[in-house]
Amino acid sequence: MKKGLLSLLIFTVSFQTYAQVNKPALQAFIERVIPGKANAFLIEDVPQDDGKDVFELDNRDDKIVLRGSNGLSVASALNYYLKNYCNSDIGWNGTNLNLPVTLPVVNSKIHKATPYKYRYYLNYCTFNYTMAWWDWERWQKEIDWMALNGINMPLAITGEEAIWQQVYKEMGFTDKELDAFFSGPAYFSWFWMGNIDSWGGPLPQHWMDSHKQLQKQILERERSFGMTPVLSSFTGHVPPSFKQKFPNARVKKTNWDAGFPDVYILDPDDAMFEQIGKKYIEAQTKEFGTDHFYSADTFNENIPPTNDSTYLDGMSKKVLHSMTAADPKAVWVMQGWMFHYNSKFWQQQQIKALLNAVPDEHMIVLDLYSESHPVWNRTDAYYGKPWIWNMLQNFGGNISMFGRMRHVAADPAIALHDPESKNMVGIGITPEGIEQNPALFALMLENVWRDTPIDADAWIKNYAQRRYGAINTNADKAWNLLLNSVYSGGLTEGGPESIIIARPTQQKTIDRVLTKLNYDPTKLVQAWELLINASDSLKQSDGYQYDVVDVTRQVLANYATPLQQQWVSAYKSNNKEEFKRHSTAFLQLMDDMDALLATRKDFLLGKWINEARANGITAKEKDLYEFNARDLVTLWGDKESGLREYSNRQWSGLIKGYYKPRWQLYFTGLSKAMATGKAFDEAAFDKAVKNWEWQWVNKHDNAYTDVAKGDPVETAKALYAKYNSIIKAAY
């Protein structure tokens, strides 16, 4: 065994010793997951296999025995039992827990050991694109889901801003100076990563205090399962007033190149870098404890000032020293995103200099986008560093059926057994947004307790049965088509979106709205028909209700492009009658999509806004959080933002209240131009629509509900009857 690996095992002993199976806590967990059934289970310990987590299923005295090497292993045993003995499924978007009164017997012992020491979860961006407004109840549900799926290494950065406030105030910064530093709650990810300052702020003190307490709850629960959370560290990002307070400090400006002002980064060569890093980890440890894992991404979507290997080597050492000065057992957990995102800069020499400066036992690299753009296979497996294979999948929290299922099913195990993968120590999921594409994530997490590729065709059939609680031939055929269409995605960064969410245009696509399909849309239409045909048998299933809405949404979202091109053609040929007919149909399509999505809480803008407002304790705070919530999913910044639509969502309320009025404004302008014979004034429209968008972002009109309305299945069936033949003709 390599010295580095041995040291890494020593450093993680706290994970094994701390995470003894807490039977009362696990009984409470079982009661949360399957209320009224906890007494049917016995909980026992089982030792690890060669340092790897283990679970077992067994029976004794008419009870089901759940054994695990820690709490999350016991939780994984429960999940295995529910899936394989009870034909059940627990997910974000629809759960099937229709359990029999008498639970099935485990006839022979099941023993499972994971081949992966670490099972990582989350991306900085997830904390905003999905989790920005979560309370403890929602976090508790997610941590239970993490345990059920064997996750043991979650990123845990909630409440970080409270620690930074403490550190910088101790250094003499005033509240006013820090108001120009801290962003609003929807933008923390990019504040934490050193991309932006202050946007969406000033941050209320109540937020800092309440989320510091929330982080303590999150960490206590994660650790109680035996998870080892990854906390934050200092990467050099300092307040804008830092240079005035410390004139001799080596501070440089950098810009994210997304339309935001410069931010200020303290040079790692400055002696204060290590001092601040040490102060931060000491303050954080005092409040939150530590498991010795610290996330640090020094150049997230920013280019270093030089490609000189000596500089990069020294910088890397300084970052590590800023951690180990406070925690000698510190392990730097680095996202490998920059090696893909800025691949022209990060050549072999630069990556090697950055990584080789750190001893192997003090670093784990996250290969963040392994299912599409792996970096491990072009860096000699990160030159021997421990690294983790991850599925990224989602960008911006966009709503789109998308994924690379066959790669997710096979590639982790293939990499594990590839001699070239060297020190691969885990797998993980690192999406920018969650609560979408539940089948894809369920498939990825199936890898946790196995070391061989998954048969995607057999798995998807079994998944449909578990999800719907019944075998249905139409559903089986539908999922086979989905596997071979929307879930055979290409190498695009995220799934195809819809032209309806674009700022009005006659083009098929724009920079931030990717409408090109890399699959045959008629296969999706066929899957839609099959799911609709399954409705009489499956309509009571929560998972089916979500899926039939999601597939219907995707079909209509795709159809928007050929429909758009019909009114574009009519406009260009000056056919006023055809233009009115097709543009009216385009607006009606948006109304129909909005009504469809209103039937599921998963797709409600009002849920997002009301959860944001619920975090405030004053009207001013509530309004600030609503601005953050509205702005993130539309403009992302001010009315000139270059990131507009990056976090677009196909949500009820957002379609009818934001996207549709923009198109109406556009169609009015085009109609006037056709009537007068004058050229359409694009510049005037651009100015008008930007003003309208900014006004919408700043509204507080209580216009959007968080209560679903209508029958999802009947609404989907009605839209199928209305659109099926039209869409088939369009393709």
Domain range list for the chain: 3-113, 119-454, 475-730
Q: Each residue of 382-424: pLDDT tens digit?
A: 999 999 999 999 999 999 999 999 999 999 999 999 999 999 9
Report whether the peptide linkage leading into residue 154 is cis, meaning its omega lies within 30 degrees of zero: no
pLDDT of 16 higher than 70: no
Q: Each residue of 654-674: pLDDT tens digit?
A: 999 999 999 999 999 999 999
Which phi and psi angles does 667 have, rounded to 5°? -65, -35
Fold of 475-730: Four Helix Bundle (Hemerythrin (Met), subunit A) (1.20.120)
Fold of 3-113: Chitobiase; domain 2 (3.30.379)
- What is residue 500's predicted lDDT score, i.e. its pLDDT? 97
Q: Each residue of 631-651: pLDDT tens digit?
A: 999 999 999 999 999 999 999
pLDDT of 19 higher than 50: no
Taking the CB of residue 627, how many other CB atoms lie within 10 A of it? 18
Quote the CA–CA distance of 408 and 402 in Å, as a whole number.
12
pLDDT of 675 higher than 90: yes
Which CATH superfamily is 119-454 part of? Glycosidases (3.20.20.80)
Span 83-109, mean pLDDT?
96
* pLDDT above 90 coverage of the chain, percent: 90
Taking the C-alpha atoms of 66, 67, 70 and 73 in order, what is their torsion angle to the nearest 10 degrees?
Answer: -60
pLDDT of 514 higher than 90: no
42 or 509, which is more confident: 42
pLDDT of 7 higher than 50: no
Q: Are 214 and 224 in contact (CB under 8 A)?
A: no
665 CB-contact burial (10 Å; exposed 0-12 / middle 13-18 / buried 19+): middle
- What is residue 9's predicted lDDT score, i.e. its pLDDT? 36
Identify the CA nearest to 483 among candidates 398, 369, 406, 546: 406
- What is residue 382's predicted lDDT score, i.e. its pLDDT? 97
